Amino acid sequence: MRYTLENEILAVEIDSFGAELRSIRRKADDFEYMWQADPRYWGRTSPVLFPFVGVPKDKEYRYAGKTYPMGQHGFARDMEFTLEHSENTKIWFALASTEETLAKYPFAFRLHIGYELCRNEVKVLWKVENTDDKPMYFSIGAHPAFRCPIHGEENKLGYGLKFGGLTAELHHHGNTPEGLAIMDDQVLPLDDGVVKFTPGFFDTCTYMVEGKQTGEVSLLDRAGEAYVTLRFDTPLFAVWSPEKKEAPFVCIEPWFGRCDAVDFDGTLETRAYENKLAKDGVFEAEYTMEFVTAGCSFCHD
């Protein structure tokens, strides 16, 4: 079921299936910021990644002497959430473990996903509760996709990204066709923190950025004007658009976790960036998306 948050500037739609953000429209002219899940390119808009971010090696993992199957990005994105609370500008959904989830992920949990609208910003809130009697290991991440281009151009060439606080370069890792991280350090040259999309920019890999190099990424049009800015405090993030498809969208993805590296041969507890919650423990995090709209001031101004 779809639910709507609304103020004088934006209208936001969230689907209870996957607690997935599906639409953010500028009310002044009905302009849509979000990718609308055309399956020719990618049939999702902004899935929640839980309890895995990325793919485990060989699509399985080991825990307590047993091997479990697990697909890319976990299973929460493909499950129905329960509505917990709803008002005009804030909404919360919840997902609890079931017999089905316990068969492939042996932890009892409760996952809460919230969305809060403040003028031209949408805040996404995560809360993970360990309801098991043992420590719980998990990853969680975001995967929002934004339209690019937005002014009727045939492609996104000349659009780009600005990485807040950076000037000359960004260090990142790539991935194999199977989605495993290649840990060789790669350098993306920047011009005053900006990179423009050139032919083939997204053809070879997801750009996985570790080391908290920045906590702010903006999507720019060809004139260099930012129309979406994400702010986050996560150990890493990714930038992605489908390889070799010239897809008309770009994803900016704050992550607490990532795919396994090509040489990973460990257990769930030793996965990179894995989060550990004690019995009855609670993990909380958030990120913010700011949308540039004519004639409105920013929430933090």
Q: What local confidence, expressed as pLDDT, does residue 294 receive?
A: 64
Q: What local confidence, expressed as pLDDT, does residue 300 receive?
A: 43
CA distance 291 to 298: 9
Q: For 210-243, how does the pLDDT look when each residue is reduced to its tens digit (9 = 90+)?
A: 999 999 999 999 999 999 999 999 999 999 999 9
CB 238 within 8 A of CB 208: yes
Q: Could you tell me if residue 296 is inside a domain? A: no
DSSP state of 259: P
Q: Could you tell me if residue 298 is inside a domain? A: no
CA distance 194 to 149: 17
Across residues 252-281, what is the average pLDDT? Answer: 97
> Could you list the residue range(s) of the whole structural domain that residue 204 is in?
2-291
CA distance 186 to 170: 8
Q: Could you tell me if residue 266 is inside a domain? A: yes
Q: For 110-166, how does the pLDDT look when each residue is reduced to its tens digit (9 = 90+)?
A: 999 999 999 999 999 999 999 999 999 999 999 999 999 999 999 999 999 999 999
- Alpha-carbon torsion, ordered 163, 121, 119, 192, to 10 deg: 0
3-state secondary structure of 268: helix
Domain count, the chain: 1
pLDDT band at 281 (very low <50, low <70, confident <90, very high): very high
pLDDT at position 296 over 50: no
CA distance 258 to 274: 8
Average predicted confidence (pLDDT) for the chain:
95
Q: Could you tell me if residue 276 is inside a domain? A: yes
CATH of the domain at 142: 2.70.98.10
Q: Could you tell me if residue 301 is inside a domain? A: no
Q: Could you tell me if residue 300 is inside a domain? A: no
Q: Could you tell me if residue 204 is inside a domain? A: yes
Report percent pLDDT > 90 for the chain: 96
Phi and psi dihedrals of 76, rounded to 5? -60, -35
Q: For 73-114, how does the pLDDT look when each residue is reduced to its tens digit (9 = 90+)?
A: 999 999 999 999 999 999 999 999 999 999 999 999 999 999
Across residues 252-256, what is the average pLDDT? Answer: 98
Q: For the sheet containing 121-130, what is the strand order?
A: 82-86, 90-96, 109-118, 121-130, 282-291, 226-232, 216-220, 160-163, 194-196
pTM for the whole thing?
0.95
pLDDT at position 298 over 90: no
Report percent pLDDT > 70 for the chain: 97
pLDDT at position 193 over 80: yes
Q: Could you tell me if residue 103 is inside a domain? A: yes
